[in-house]
Structure 1
Amino acid sequence: MFDVRWERPLHQAGSPSAMAVTEQHLVVHERNTRLVGLDPVEGSVRWDVPVGTWPRAVVVAEPHCLVIPQNTGGLLCLDVETGEDIWQAEPGSFAGHVVVDEELVLVGGWRGYTPLSAVDLRTGVPRWRAGTHGGTVLPAVTEAGFLLGEPGGDSVRLIDRDDGRELTTWSLPEPLAGPDVGPAFRVEGGGFLTRCGDRLVVRIVPAEAKAEIVFRAERDLAPRAVDLCGGLLWLAGRRGGYTVVDPSDGAERWRIQHDRRFVASVASVAGGFAIADEGGSLFRIDLAGLVSERARLTQRIRDLREQGPSKFLLLAKGSLLAVDASRPSGHVHADHFGP
């Protein structure tokens, strides 16, 4: 069973880029200009502060919360426990991306509007700034630095975390299929998985010189990051459904046929996995790839975020729902899956 633990109205359309979730913290933008810290278990308000409109990024890096409002050129750093201001920086208008690596914050590069720059997480003091404007997908953190790539570009590059200089470049077999919002790279073992072209999944390993093709789909895939859950690679179709693959050998495990697109992310729950479509329906997928439960909880779902064992959040059209999936259903809806 999918049990709704609590629901909170946002008084605006929910935005995946305006919410951050960890096991201990939940931060979400609502009511046009407010950023709210909620108790993840009960949904009660811990703090409520004004930050500006429609954040392009909200990131929790305990004990900090970083926010880029749309209507300012500022990067705000708040105390994630209280919502109090710690510092503010000025990376430039439409900076967009925010990534944290230990005591360093990388910001900028979204659509090439502002150069990439780095500031100190504790103080907001600038550390370095790139000399040119260059667009990139949301960077990924590696041991050596940050992984970057221009949407539609033919390469991925690694830059040094301390000064931003280029360290390594990998050529891609097809253009990088990076989303405008959200991650483009997924950590997998000692490397990173990313999407290329309409149908490819590629692995990049920092210690290796060449990118490796992991899987080539038979149908066009959604232009977004792959999902990883339960040791499996979940590939969302452009027009709906999932293809589920073993990333170790590229073997297809099963397909989930559906006429609606699934939102990003897969949650691990009792009896298997939980996925959600944009039309407001939740599905429990068992360990054989069969749909064991289906429920419609709301009119529209924009995002799914795993919180803990068998618990996740659904960002709906105008509200936030906390769901408990610890009680599996025993009935299989065979009409919702395919070979």
Structure 2
Amino acid sequence: MDADVDWWTHPMDARTLWIRQLHQRGDAGTLAGVGEHVVVHERRTRLVCLDRHEGAVRWDTGIRTRPYDVVTAPAPGPGAGSVLVQENDRLSCLRLTDGDGVWSVGLPRYCRSPVIAGDTVVTGGWRGYTPLTAFRLVDGRPLWRTPEPARTAKPLVWGGGVLVGSGTDVRLIDPGSGQELSRWRLPEALTETDHRPAFTAIGQDRCLARCGRRSLVTLRLCSGHVEPFLSHDADLAASAAEFAGGVVWVREARVASDGACGRLAVAPENGRVVGRVDVREPLVGDVVPVPGLVPGAGFAVVGDSGVLCLLEREGRIVHRIRSRPPGRALALRGLGGDLLAVVGRGTLRAVALTS
């Protein structure tokens, strides 16, 4: 750890709180945080929980192989909270406070994308390799399983159920029973996002689905209707929109001559494009809300060279903060408050933004 690394320069102070050497390529899919805990996969077969502010190790436990997914959830009441580790053919639940194993179940190979819906875990359906399967979060007891392998985009917990879909068919299922609660028929097929999300919740009654080459549509829960949201004049990336800080952020697929891919800032109420982000290099990771730190700036993004940019709501760059020395970035994640996690080629950095 190094609490005194001067990683960012002016015009705004962004202080590196700690750096963790991962001894492998970083992966945002195996980084998860909840409350004061940051859980990260490192050293091939280790899962480590770090203190959010200090980077101190809370626990360090072994796993069998490189996990596909790491998911955390706070306890619904007084309790320890949970960490789910999805390996190739096994799903394990650890206690968040100390990393002790709670339960572990075997699964068919190539199972991934677990989601926690209340007291239930639903996993499976990636590329149509495995059935959808549900377990009780508290003890891993099986609840239900589809009779055949199912194909679905990465499921999303929304509307009192779990949203799954493939092609033009989208369903909301009850996590406890697997029964269908609602169904929508899309005008175009869901985009093939592989292990990335295709759905974005933007309200209790509204969820966006990324479909076709250039479109997003709105799923209405109460009415069961599908409504147009955005039809762009160029191809969009094969990934879901983000909903952060009251703005919908949509990735474009086109690559400029300098290698940059832009993101659109879109008004959630009407799908109108209000701006476009272009930092002259590919953006990596999330758009992270950082309200109140700098006048006019409400969001942070990072380019793959490690340049951190602060944006206004319309996507205009307010500040650029360059790393010194330059460090490649693979992803940006929010850790809550003014803290950011930057995943690098072999490191995890926690950065605090201060005005």
Q: Same fold (TM over 0.5)?
A: yes
- 1:182 Cα deviation from its structure 2 partner: 3.2
Instruction: Confirm whether residue 16 of structure 1 aligns to residue 31 of structure 2.
Output: no
After the TM superposition, which of the residue ranges 304-313 and 116-125 deviates more from structure 2? 304-313
Deviations 1:38-91 (A, max 9, x none): 101111100001112221111112211110123xx1111111110111111122
User: Gaps (5+ residues) in structure 2?
Assistant: 1-11, 75-80, 256-260
Structure 1 position 305, deviation (Å): 1.2
Name the SS for the 1:195 alignment partner: strand
- Equivalent residue number for residue 161 of structure 1: 175
2:264 is the alignment partner of 1:243: yes
What is the Cα deviation at residue 131 of structure 1?
0.5
CA-to-partner distance for each residue in 1:197-255, whole Å, 9 max, x for gaps? 12111111221222111111222111111111221111111130111110101222111
Cα deviation 1:300-321 (Å, max 9, x = unaligned): 2222111122221111111101
Q: How much does 1:279 deviate?
A: 3.1
**One of 19, 31, 41 as aligned partner of 1:29:** 41
Q: How does 1:217-256 map to 2 (within 5 A)?
A: 217-238=232-253, 239=255, 240-256=261-277
Query: How far, CA to CA, are the matches of 1:84 and 1:277 in structure 2?
Result: 37
Aligned-partner Cα distance in 1 for 2:223–2:273: 25
Which residue of structure 2 lines up, in the alignment, with residue 188 of structure 1?
A: 202
Matched residue type, 1:307: L
What amino acid is aligned across from residue 248 of structure 1 in structure 2?
E
Aligned to 1:48: 60
Computed over aligned residues only, the root mean square deviation of the Cα atoms, in angstroms, reads 1.6
The corresponding residue for 1:333 is none
2:286 alignment partner in structure 1: 265
**How far does residue 143 in structure 1 lie from its aligned partner after superposition?**
3.8
Match of 1:317 in 2: 345
Structure 1 partner of 2:106: 90
1:289 equivalenced with 2:315 (yes/no): yes
Q: Per-residue displacement from partner, 1:133-182 (whole Å, max 9, x unpaired)?
A: 012111111344211012xx112111222221333321112221242223
Tell me, yes or no, if the aligned pair for 1:267 and 1:310 is still in contact at 8 Å: no
**Cα shift at 1:129:** 0.7
Tell me, what secondary structure is at the counterpart of 2:59?
Answer: strand
Q: Residue 115 of structure 1: CA displacement?
A: 0.4
Q: Does 1:58 align with 2:70?
A: yes
Cα shift readout 1:72-113 (whole Å, capped 9, x = no counterpart): x11111111101111111222121110111111101111122
Pair 1:304 & 2:332 matched: yes
Residue identity in the other structure for 1:272: G
Q: In structure 2, what is the Cα distance between the partners aligned to 1:195 and 1:326?
A: 35
Q: In 2, are the aligned partners of 1:243 and 1:254 still within 8 Å (CA)?
A: yes
Q: Which amino acid aligns with 1:256?
A: V
SS of residue matched to 1:265: strand
**1:106-255 equivalence runs, <5 A:** 106-150=122-166, 153-190=167-204, 191-238=206-253, 239=255, 240-255=261-276
| Sequence identity (%) | 37
For residues 237 and 36 of structure 1, the distance between their equivalents in structure 2, rounded to whole angstroms, comes to 34
Which amino acid in structure 1 is aligned with residue 90 of structure 2?
G
State the distance in 2 between where 1:272 and 1:143 align.
Answer: 28
The alignment partner of 1:5 has SS state of strand
Paired AA for residue 203 in structure 1: T
Give the Cα–Cα distance (whole angstroms) in 1 for the partners of residues 187 and 94 of structure 2.
Answer: 41
Number of the residue aligned with 1:326: 354
Q: 1:114 to 1:289 in 2, by over 3 A?
A: closer
Q: Distance in 1 between matches of 2:353 and 2:302?
A: 13
Q: For 2:328 and 2:191, locate their aligned partners in 1 and report how far apart those are by CA, in whole Å.
A: 25
Question: TM-score w.r.t. structure 1 length?
Answer: 0.90
Q: What letter corresponds to residue 163 of structure 2 in structure 1?
A: L
User: Which residue number corresponds to residue 337 of structure 1?
Assistant: none
- Correspondence for 1:277: 303
Q: Cα 1:248–1:91, aligned 2, differ >3 Å: closer, same or farther?
A: same
Could you tell me how far apart the structure 2 residues matched to 1:288 and 1:117 are?
41
Return the alpha-carbon distance in structure 2 between the equivalents of residues 48 and 160 of structure 1.
35
Question: TM-score, normalization: structure 2?
Answer: 0.87
Matched pairs, number: 323
